[in-house]
Chains A and B, each alone.
Chain A
């Protein structure tokens, strides 16, 4: 059993302590916006914020996430308003299949918090998520658009 605070809400989840946070989020908390892609922290589809830092939740154990503030894609919008990254994603028509975009958006939201006006090089260094559809060109444009809101 573990208590997880996800999007400001407490979830008492019946899982082993070594369960990857990803699966507790998806299967126990029922928040399926966070995606499984590789299970080895390579692709970034499962990116969430833990105490404000972008983390690949497949590589984080539930025991290490307990007691921390976890934010998933479902919790990124605040007070009914989309986050500026989500807005930019809509305005720039970024997603193709969209499967990787939850993780991509979470990674970008964390980047903008750290670097409000990222350069292309900042983006290259911080955003290492895999997108097989190949939305990178639109991702880059939308990051800059979100930064300039």
Chain B
């Protein structure tokens, strides 16, 4: 649900669908907190409100609107509700409301989108209020039953106590009465210093089924009578399907139907997916690949390079007069960097199961944005909202890819041609690699001036390349320009530049090749941090200063940036010499409202084999809901980030992506994993994201260490293309 507005959708629903990623959603929430009519869950248990259902046996079911894809949000959100609810954590389970249910209840659960590291930080206030409201209603119900003043009652661990008499009851015993009460008007949230569950490294709620094979991912959905589909879309984006020779696969085992999907794709529907894929591979297909088939990585690189020096540019951050200051600088430093396309490569390839009849359309899939998937179902089916729904399954990785709904729309298009029969569409890994929504490609030219005392006086950063919003959310562009490209380089906001530089000019020359970009975990902070933090290292060396001290002087006005940088420097032992043959590099950045830094220790053999020995990584996310899960996100970020640095580039030849599977698009293995020493240092007072920001410091910390080891600057990603690999 991106470019097209379905006629059935009113504007509000459209805004829901397109708010998948990017800046926050500016919609008021209409959260029904209780009321005289009791709403019941499927098993008959009463809702205290939209967020909390309690069974007579005291089981607490917490509703989670955001998607779990490994990042731990499901557990963190449950902790936030349970904290205010004062319930027994051992009795907590969770469930997903469907987008259809939410729309039918005036968006009772608010935004479903789970991208931009916003799962917790943009819903923590209203989910906590949901828990607090439910607690107050449960206590009120007990006080009513006992005919005592509510002020004499309190709740802890799902038990309500009347303090003067010592009488107790449990949530399960009073929930029926509580559900009939009007919600309180005045709900106060706890002071963070009184938190008992929030801030604890509790174990995830979704682990047991993940170690027995019982967890159901989208790919595992089974419906009675279900068929399976394999699909091929035109490998060159912008091309079309010309024809296919169905007769050539007639009679192949299990094949039920060959269907055209939109103008660009063909799918084989069969009894099993293996039969569908086998037949699809045997199906002769003719594509009209169009003009884009002439595009190569070299032609894209040349076009982007032109944008570094010429043409109009959009200014993202400016202070002083950088161009004049550069001209008058004592020492001038200049460098050009580039950052490639990368596929998300979720372990579970894209898939969705759809069942369409003339009066109903349902989809089962993993999605990072239930409401966007819902909008895609409406659009694809042509049915109104009350005839559609999306049943969210566990995601086998998201990383931003499953915020898009192209695969959902395809499944619905296939199901419409198989009315009454549920069809599961599964992309092969090859299809997933070819039809990605890639990390955008950019280049960056940086020019800086140092004065006679080697102070940084001016910096000009000119980024040339692709805008994600241009392709995926054009309505979010500002006069055709993309402010999101300046992530981490802004003057203020949740992705601000930490360094104070007297004369600064940051600008973007937008150039959009035909390859469709996407929100790839970390998004625009990834390349911007690599550019800036490697270049800061170049400047420190040009100034003859220690890279830590050079940065520290420029961060005095941003103590939170400084604090995470100091923390990793201390942890890695920056003030002491590294062991023989070991070299260090640093990086710090701000993204998604959080402050992150990394220090790497590496050794290099023959200039081409890098052993990443140790990483110290610090994150200040403001509040740390579950530090154990944050540590896991930090450690995992080095796998995602260093995989990108070493192996990650997707190249273009004949208009299509060349890498088609993990043999040509490698991913880090355990042998290549450095020891990551995480420092979770919440300073309080703000809510930052966790899943993404750390990715961006992984690359520059290692590249800066590589320079320390070899004296050689690497300004191009991935290292694979320079024959540098893991030792």
- Interface, chain A (partner B; CB < 8 A): 15-16, 19-20, 23, 27-28, 30-40, 42-43, 45, 72-74, 76-77, 82, 86, 89-90, 93-102, 105, 123-125, 127-140
Contact = CB atoms under 8 A, between A and B. Distances in A.
A132 B661 contact: no
A134 B635 contact: yes
13 contacts: A23-B273, A32-B222, A33-B214, A36-B426, A37-B662, A43-B667, A82-B212, A95-B207, A97-B70, A98-B210, A98-B396, A102-B213, A133-B70
B345 interface: yes
B235 interface: no
Interface stretch (B5-13, B117-125, B472-480, B668-676): B668-676
Interface stretch (B104-112, B191-199, B637-645, B714-722): B637-645
Interface in B657-714: 661-663, 667-671, 673, 675-676
A39 to B, nearest CB: 6
B205 to A, nearest CB: 11
B274 A42 contact: no
B599 to A, nearest CB: 17
Contacts of A77: 212
Interface string B223-241: 0000010000000000000
Main secondary structure of the interface of B (DSSP, over half): loop
Interface in B620-647: 628, 632, 635-640, 643
Given A90-B208, A134-B637, A35 B669 contact: no
Contacts of A132: 345-347, 397, 399, 639-640, 643, 667
A102 B216 CA distance: 12
A-B pairs, top 4 by smallest CB distance, nearest first, are A33-B213, A134-B639, A97-B70, A134-B636
Contacts of A129: 669-670
B211 interface: yes
A89 B669 contact: no
A132 B662 CA distance: 11
A93 to B, nearest CB: 5
B211 A90 contact: yes
A124 B662 CA distance: 19
Contacts of B216: 32
A122 B206 CA distance: 29
Nearest to B635: A137
B348 A99 contact: yes
B394 A27 contact: no
Given A95-B207, A137-B635, A39 B428 contact: yes
A72 B213 CA distance: 9
Contacts of A86: 211-212
B213 A130 contact: no
A102 B220 CA distance: 13
Nearest to B695: A134
Contact of B213 (A73, A94, A124): A73
A137 B673 contact: yes
Contacts of A130: 347, 662, 667, 669
Interface SS of chain A: helix, strand, loop or mixed?
Answer: loop
Given A32-B213, A42-B662, A132-B399, 7 more contacts: A15-B274, A35-B219, A89-B207, A96-B71, A97-B347, A133-B397, A136-B669
B213 A140 contact: no
A105 B253 contact: no
Nearest to B201: A93
B273 A97 contact: no
B640 A134 contact: yes
Contact of B636 (A19, A96, A99, A125): A96
B316 interface: no
Contacts of B273: 23, 27
Interface string B35-53: 0000000000000000000
A27 B426 CA distance: 13
Interface in B43-81: 69-72
A137 B209 CA distance: 21
B644 to A, nearest CB: 11
A51 B124 CA distance: 50
Nearest to B663: A42
B675 A137 contact: yes
B662 A101 contact: no
B217 interface: yes
Nearest to A98: B210
B220 A93 contact: no
The residue among B72, B204, B636, B668 with the most chain A CB atoms within 10 A of its own CB is B636
A138 B632 contact: yes
B517 interface: no
B693 to A, nearest CB: 15
Contacts of B632: 93, 96, 135, 137-138
A20 B635 CA distance: 34
Given A31-B213, A132-B399, A96 B70 contact: yes
A140 B676 CA distance: 12
